[in-house]
Structure 1
Amino acid sequence: MRTITTLSAVAILGFLMLGSCKRQDAPIPKIKPSDGNKLTLDGGPGGSYAENAVYVDLSTDKQSSVKRSSWNLGFHCGAEFSVILNSSMDMSAMVTNSTDIKSVNKTNFDVEQLKLDIKPEKLKIYDDTLGRLNHNVIAEIKANANDNKVYVVNSPTPKGDDEFWKVRIVRSGTNAYTLEYAKLEDQQIKSLSITKEEAFNFKFISFASGPVNVEPKKEEWDFVWTRSIYFTSMAGTPVPYSFSDLIFTNHLYKVTSEQIIFLDKDGKSNGKPTYAEFDESKLSLVTFKPNRNVIGANWRSAFSPGAYKDRYYVIKDNLGNIYKLKFIAMGAGGDGGKRGYPELEYKLVKAY
């Protein structure tokens, strides 16, 4: 009788363990992505100088607005020790020959070098407009602290006034940065430690208030609408220019996109499917590109017609959901919108 009881207990325990394993091994259920929606982005007051950048996640119909002036530097959370400037506030920077932050001031650095001017040689004082981390003004932070120089940065205020700071950044262990910073003429140096967090592309700091939240987690946004230093052509040569109404995709976390223009210059069909016609059967026509500025400034004109009606975009998010996206209005060229509050529409083409 005792033997039967023992065997029964073993059998029950094994059954429970097997059930537990099955529960643990069960696949995580998919979260159904949005079928599509219409959004009016909350750029806030300011018109073409709207105060907010707006991050958009198509699969959840979410937008997240943050003041463009809320941060100064972003610290990459990936393998590289890379630092970005706040290009949405036209921040510029130049390296000095010194590793002693206290020694750098206006007597040995000409701040005129950092002021915005529409000249080709000025592009080098701004971060890469293509978003390539290895082409930014601040070089990758070296493991040897003595290899990291002081930079002088111009961080214009919301009113457009130039404000000059000096910064020096070193690595702190294998997963963090140490930032030293002060106004250019100050001798009292502040220090901050910034630890990488895998869930984000960057961690951000403000010279005025320290660590701040800017971007959502990298899995939770597809593109950002913002103002930024960008480039335009002058006599065939690229020069820096501050653009409003730019769209940058989350290229650092697997978001890809393509532009489809379906009308020719005379407004007639060029044979490509319209927004209404585009469905899963047309995906073979798309070559998804990893560039962050496939949309960029290509979706609109600050003059007539405002938001272009001859094109739309196809976006694949980090999970593989594919959406078609068109812009309805931006508040320019008589398109019926309000500047700073662009209107867009999107529709799910294929779920992952």
Structure 2
Amino acid sequence: MRATALLPLSILLLSGCIKDELPVPARPRGEAAQVQLCMGSGYQDQLWVDISSRTVVRSNPKTAWDLAFESGPDQWRVWLNGSRLMTAWSIGPGDITVAMDTAGMAQGRRIDAPSGHPDSTAIGDWRGAQDIHLIDLGYNAFGAHLGVRKLQLLEVTATSYTFRTALLDGSGMQEHTLSKSGSSASTMFSFASGTEDVEPSAGSWDMVFTQYTHQFHEPFIPYIVTGVLTPPGVRVARIVAADMATVSLSDTLQHPFSTARDAIGFDWKTYSFDDGAYTVDPSIVYIIHDAQGLFHKLHFLDFYDDLGTVGCPTWEVREL
């Protein structure tokens, strides 16, 4: 079988329309199902999946949003859209309308940890500082750089964020008040269009098939990969060299659950430069404790459809 691993920065997504899809009734417990999803040309879509119904509850182009603001009343963190290799660089307090350059940004910029660890965001704890952050917007579907914007976070309350944005030369300054979503864990914002309704409501999805930025260490470089991320509240146990048929919930005694956002991640597949093809490892099995409190086991079977189109993962899932 074939599948995929890493993607170079030049492989980026095409735009499309955000769309909701009606879920179908969940299958009876214990019944296995094979599911295939296609992420579009150039891995253009982010696919938000409810594992119980085995359906995509929403999809959007990865270019639909830039920043994700946490929605909880006590929350304040701001995340980047890692599917485009976005980075952030804090340059301290100042006047956002003053022209700036990017000298030193290559050394100082940061990415969000792919694990989603709350203490490892690119922007960090901004409260009370009113620092200016240079936000590299990453790359579009055709490999063109999307530019740099300035962001100055001013205030967060139980219900909203207040912040300023501007172009790098200081022009186009706007002050925004972003209301926190009452239903989803994050509220998305686009520098081009403002608030965007992207993330489905909390509890309605368990996995998102997407590109994201992973930090490699040999060599030390952030890189775009294609895989699966999970939301807060979903736990994943990973079992390697396993037989899907015999994996049971008791295996989590030796393979404990993780709440890391990239616990499923991208490395259930590898790429052969010799063959120019991708291979899935079906012996990697995941036990997923979903947003509804149910347990499932899942493994991947392929990353191509019957026509050989890449970016169409096939996975088998069974409720435990």
Same fold (TM over 0.5): yes
Residue 215 of structure 1 corresponds to which residue in structure 2? 199
Task: Note if 1:39 corresponds to 2:23.
Answer: no
Q: Residues 195 and 141 of structure 1: is their aligned pair in 2 closer, same or farther, counting only changes over 3 Å?
A: farther
Residue 237 of structure 2 corresponds to which residue in structure 1? 258
Instruction: Looking at secondary structure, tell me which structure has more helix per residue.
Output: 1
Letter paired with 1:134 = D
Task: Note if 1:125 corresponds to 2:110.
Answer: yes
Q: Residues 129 and 223 of structure 1: is their aligned pair in 2 closer, same or farther, counting only changes over 3 Å?
A: same
Structure 2 distance, partners of 1:148, 1:322, is 43
Aligned pairs (5 A) from 1:1-352: 35=29, 36-46=32-42, 50-63=43-56, 64-78=58-72, 79-106=74-101, 109-110=102-103, 113-114=105-106, 125-142=110-127, 144=128, 147-158=129-140, 159-162=142-145, 163-234=147-218, 238-243=220-225, 245-250=226-231, 252=232, 254-262=233-241, 274-279=243-248, 284-303=253-272, 306-331=279-304, 338-349=309-320
Contact in 1 for aligned 2:26/2:54 (Cα 8 Å):
no
Letter paired with 1:74 = A
Q: Residues 61 and 32 of structure 1: is their aligned pair in 2 closer, same or farther, counting only changes over 3 Å?
A: closer
Residue 25 of structure 1 corresponds to which residue in structure 2? none
Secondary structure at the aligned position of 1:328 is classed as strand
Q: Residues 178 and 255 of structure 1: is their aligned pair in 2 closer, same or farther, counting only changes over 3 Å?
A: same
Contact in 2 for aligned 1:337/1:343 (Cα 8 Å):
no
Question: In the TM superposition, what is the alpha-carbon distance from 1:280 to its structure 2 partner?
Answer: 5.1
Letter paired with 1:193 = T
1:56-114 Cα shifts (integer Å, max 9, x gaps): 111122212211111111101122211011111111110112332112422xx42x624
Structure 2 distance, partners of 1:302, 1:215, is 30
Secondary structure at the aligned position of 1:59 is classed as coil
Structure 1 distance, partners of 2:41, 2:296, is 29
Query: Between the two proteins, what is the percent identity of the paired residues?
Result: 23
Structure 1 distance, partners of 2:304, 2:289, is 27
1:119-165 Cα shifts (integer Å, max 9, x gaps): xx67x5211122112211112241x4xx2211111112413323011
RMSD: 2.5
Structure 1 distance, partners of 2:250, 2:220, is 39
The aligned length equals: 286
Secondary structure at the aligned position of 1:88 is classed as helix
Instruction: Looking at secondary structure, tell me which structure has more strand per residue.
Output: 2
Contact in 1 for aligned 2:244/2:283 (Cα 8 Å):
no
Structure 1 segments unaligned to the other structure (5+ residues): 1-30, 115-120, 263-271
Q: Residues 175 and 140 of structure 1: is their aligned pair in 2 closer, same or farther, counting only changes over 3 Å?
A: farther
Letter paired with 1:68 = K
Residue 19 of structure 2 corresponds to which residue in structure 1? none
Question: In the TM superposition, what is the alpha-carbon distance from 1:281 to its structure 2 partner?
Answer: 6.1
Q: TM-score, normalised by structure 1?
A: 0.74
Contact in 1 for aligned 2:76/2:156 (Cα 8 Å):
no
**Bigger radius of gyration among the two:** 1
